[in-house]
Structure 1
Amino acid sequence: MTIPHDEAEKHILGSLLNRPALVSDVVEIVQPADMYAPRHEVIYRSIITMDARGLAIDPLTVGEYLTGTGELAAAGGALYLADLYATPPATSNAPYYARIVAEHATRRRLHAAGTRIVQLSASGEGDVAEIVEQSRAEVDAVSATAAATVTYVGDTIDDTLDALEQPSPATPTPWTDLNDIIGGWRPGALYVVGARPGIGKTIVGIEAAIGLAERGHVAFSSLEMPRDELMHRILAHQALVPINRMDSRTLTDDDWRKIAGVRAAIGAMTVAIDDRGAVTTTDVRAHARTVSRRGPLVAVIVDYLQLMASPRGERRPRHEVVADYSRQLKLLAKELACPVIALSQLNRASENRQDKRPSLADLRESGAVEQDADVVLLLHEHEEDDTAIDVLIAKNRHGARGSVELTRRGWFSRMDTAQWSPTRALNSQPPQGGPR
């Protein structure tokens, strides 16, 4: 069951090529994936991207853009773009045709979802409750494409006041002093944690994941570190066993006793790790959606932003790609209604300054990251004591800026308050340094 509507799709594209100002109206109704004809999807996606970047839109410029992405042939070629432009429909009807295309797309998705549900139920395999959950997810995936609605302030005031009477939806960070400034990890917010290599941004990501997992499920995309190395750090954090002894396989009897003591807790930890290297925001979203089907999703963590892969066919400068990803991660936070914590590498500029403390300008490959983030935390290592780490709150959309001092216990993959010094952690263990 295909339910295509080729003419309606052509009407939309012809209207946009003739009157680009309609893009904002049409994109609220129909998405690129709603197009049935593959070439129409390619053209429409390109027009939306060009509009978002403020580029002129006509058959020539769209053709040049598609040539740059290597997709001109897939879009039907320059002549097809000219044909769409040369026979313009009544552009005022573009929203009407957009609704037709969106409706047909929804019908196709419903039919496909129904087919998959029938296959699941007829297979005679698997747990019934799991099949029900998978079926619900199929229908939810269809309803997620619903068009935006108009909501007035007066319609939401009662809900807002009711929400103010409830506890804060933010999840506290592991550090009380930091909570006092940023208020915790807020749903729908993008947090960027920036640092030079080896300062401890992955430790912050692990600490955040462990704390957030007490409230629900965490989707952790580890682009830099494979799963086994990440597990070593989680074990070190929880059991207070040095990472180097795990890596070298020189664990003592006391180490094994500590690990045995936390094994059950780690086994119940709801942190889902995706350690594929070259992922895009689409992959991050898909992983998060999969995790959300197992239980409430409370956070998405990406380690780290600059390692995310460019979309296939992209030939843009790297800083533009990173800028797009930071914006998409912000939108993902709103879409999933959970905090997204993106670890980010800083450039070398601060190392060449008299004041070595990092600033927003040091965010590597993209100044757009600081614009999209709700909160930016920058890590700074003290010159006189490399275990002392300042967390600089360089941006805080929810309140004041400031700084918090933490103590890095690298061998135990921990960032603790400056006064933390449990005897059992430090006795006979490396007191400083360690993986970061």
Structure 2
Amino acid sequence: MNDAARKLAPLAKDQAEQHYREAPNNLEAEQALLGAILVNNDAFYRVSDFLKPVHLYEPLHRRIFEIAGEIIRMGKTANPVTVKTFLKADEKVGDLTVAQYLARLAAEAVSIINAEDYGRAIYDLALRRSLITIGEDMVNIAYDAPLDMPPQSQIEDAERRLFELAETGRYDGGFQSFNDAVALAIDMAGQAFERDGHLSGISTGIHSLDGKMGGLQRSDLIILAGRPGMGKTSLATNIAYNIAAAYEAEVQPDGSFKAKNGGVVGFYSLEMSSEQLATRIISEQTEVSSSKIRRGDISEADFEKLVACSQMMQKVPLYIDQTGGISIAQLAARARRLKRQRGLDVLVVDYIQLMTGSKKSGENRVQEITEITTGLKALGKELNVPIIALSQLSRAVESREDKRPQLSDLRESGSIEQDADVVLFVFREEYYVKNMEPRDEFDPKYEEWKMQMEKVKGTADVIIAKQRHGPTGTVKLAFQSEFTRFSDLADPSFTQYEH
């Protein structure tokens, strides 16, 4: 035997003796849980909120768990006799038939008290198997990466898969049974019934707007658009602060927190710095003009108001990211991180046209905007949060006699209008009327202008131009420009009218 062969011989022997590594699983725990369910169907409800058939390792166990679950949800009894009719009679488990195997599971069942512990153990092992798959994919893709896949996009893909796994216990997406979808719809209706104001979505804090929209619906992309000076950032800031200030947490069975009212808000401010945004919110809350705050032109009483307001605001779960020119991929990665670390219920992006797409879309701005809006829509569904994205309007509005915005005024509009679930336009007639003031106050038209100004002063229209789940129409709001604050009108007869 030569030297090389002599050195390799012990190594080959060692490898022959080693067992291959099996994916983490615990068949005994699966058997114990299934037995408990077959003996006492209440055991199913101990685990059904977190354990799905896909989490079980053995394919036969998956089928038994799925069939038993369907029978129990229909209000019938799942036991060895009723379950076996849905399985192949000639299938064997070792020396046992399926019917004998089901009977054995029930005979050796543990008590219902242990069902949840077994369920958790099975779930944890399923997560480990998924982590192994993600890890293997990461390694394989990194070794054999295609030329058009930069490392950054692999990081984003891995981050998305890990986030999905952490949030839902599975990352493969795939089909969902109609039963699960119905259960979710009923849960949503129940939550709306219990929530303040009986809204199916998250309240904006502006009642007349909530009345039209039912609050902000989860996974919706809400486009808030307007010409400069109309107050779209002010409205977004008002809504963001109202939601964060109303935040009321509720502890879930697994120890995590969920918003009962209000919510945790992430605000991407691509145009203004976080200090400017904070100044606006402080001005709105204290009724001290933001220009006075910036100049320091305030009284001692005003300053005390500001200090008291800032102390109250420190507890508000509103997180601001002021990175300019952020890409949709960076925005998604940061939003996932925020949801994992602090929770997230609403996302605000100010504004779409300041975001960047990938380099693939090249110089074509319309393609880039399409990529951004599609990305925002997908992110809203992935995180299950409403996204309020602000957008500019084209100058075409200014050249028209009627300055009210229309869907066709959205800049690079095709994809924005198509991807949006809701499109809101902010329109303040006061802004245009003010600019038409006759120079000479003795001009006969001056009185006419004054009357028109009185009519529109301090009001704003929020035009709901598109809404997938509700009516379109216009909501009239009060607007105090010195505090950049939108609120409900005092006179309810003024509030809203439908198209």
Fold shared by both chains (TM-score > 0.5):
yes
Aligned length: 307
Q: Which residue of 2 aligns with 1:36?
A: 141
Q: Does 1:406 align with 2:453?
A: no
Q: 1:190-215 CA distances to partner (integer Å, 9 max, x unpaired)?
A: 10000001110110111111122123
Q: Which residue of 1 aligns with 2:37?
A: none
The 2-side partners of 1:356 and 1:282 are apart by 35
- What SS class does the counterpart of residue 250 from structure 1 fall into? coil
Q: Does 1:381 align with 2:428?
A: yes
The 1-side partners of 2:202 and 2:353 are apart by 26
Q: 1:13-47 CA distances to partner (integer Å, 9 max, x unpaired)?
A: xxxxxxxxxxxxxxxx99x978624774454x6xx
The 2-side partners of 1:177 and 1:142 are apart by 35
Q: Which residue of 2 aligns with 1:361?
A: 408
Q: 1:240-292 CA distances to partner (integer Å, 9 max, x unpaired)?
A: 11101111122211211211222222111111110011101112212212222
Q: Which residue of 2 aligns with 1:295?
A: 342
Q: Which residue of 2 aligns with 1:350?
A: 397
Residues 249/172 of structure 1: CA separation in 2 closer, same or farther (3 Å cut): same
Q: Does 1:172 align with 2:277?
A: no
Q: Which residue of 1 aligns with 2:331?
A: 284
Q: 1:213-243 CA distances to partner (integer Å, 9 max, x unpaired)?
A: 1233211000000111111101111111110
Which consecutive unaligned segments of at least 5 residues does structure 1 have? 1-28, 46-70, 75-104, 114-135, 421-436
Residues 333/42 of structure 1: CA separation in 2 closer, same or farther (3 Å cut): farther
Aligned residue type for 1:165: G
Q: Say if 2:200 and 2:215, in contact at 8 Å, map to a contact too.
A: no
The 1-side partners of 2:428 and 2:222 are apart by 20
Aligned residue type for 1:315: G
- What SS class does the counterpart of residue 320 from structure 1 fall into? helix
Q: Which residue of 1 aligns with 2:293?
A: 246
The 1-side partners of 2:383 and 2:478 are apart by 33
Q: 1:274-311 CA distances to partner (integer Å, 9 max, x unpaired)?
A: 00111011122122122223333111100001110232
- What SS class does the counterpart of residue 309 from structure 2 fall into? helix
Aligned residue type for 1:152: S
Q: Say if 1:344 and 1:363, in contact at 8 Å, map to a contact too.
A: yes
For residues 32-181 of structure 1, the aligned pairs below 5 Å read 36-37=141-142, 40-43=145-148, 140=166, 146-167=171-192, 168-181=199-212
Once superposed, what is the RMSD of the aligned Cα atoms?
Answer: 3.2
Q: Which has the higher contact order (CA 8 A, sep 6+)?
A: 1
Aligned residue type for 1:405: K
- What SS class does the counterpart of residue 272 from structure 1 fall into? strand
- What SS class does the counterpart of residue 165 from structure 1 fall into? helix
2:366 to 298, 301, 319: 319
- What SS class does the counterpart of residue 141 from structure 2 fall into? coil
Q: Which residue of 1 aligns with 2:95?
A: none
- What SS class does the counterpart of residue 219 from structure 1 fall into? strand
The 2-side partners of 1:137 and 1:368 are apart by 27
Q: Which residue of 2 aligns with 1:185?
A: 216
Residues 153/332 of structure 1: CA separation in 2 closer, same or farther (3 Å cut): same
Q: Give the number of the structure whose alpha-carbon radius of gyration is greater.
A: 2
Residues 408/153 of structure 1: CA separation in 2 closer, same or farther (3 Å cut): same
Q: Which residue of 2 aligns with 1:204?
A: 235
Q: Which residue of 2 aligns with 1:220?
A: 267
Aligned residue type for 1:148: G
The 2-side partners of 1:327 and 1:399 are apart by 22
How big is the shift at 1:327?
Answer: 1.1
- What SS class does the counterpart of residue 204 from structure 1 fall into? helix
The 2-side partners of 1:228 and 1:346 are apart by 26
Which consecutive unaligned segments of at least 5 residues does structure 2 have? 1-132, 193-198, 248-261, 434-452, 492-499
The 2-side partners of 1:319 and 1:194 are apart by 17
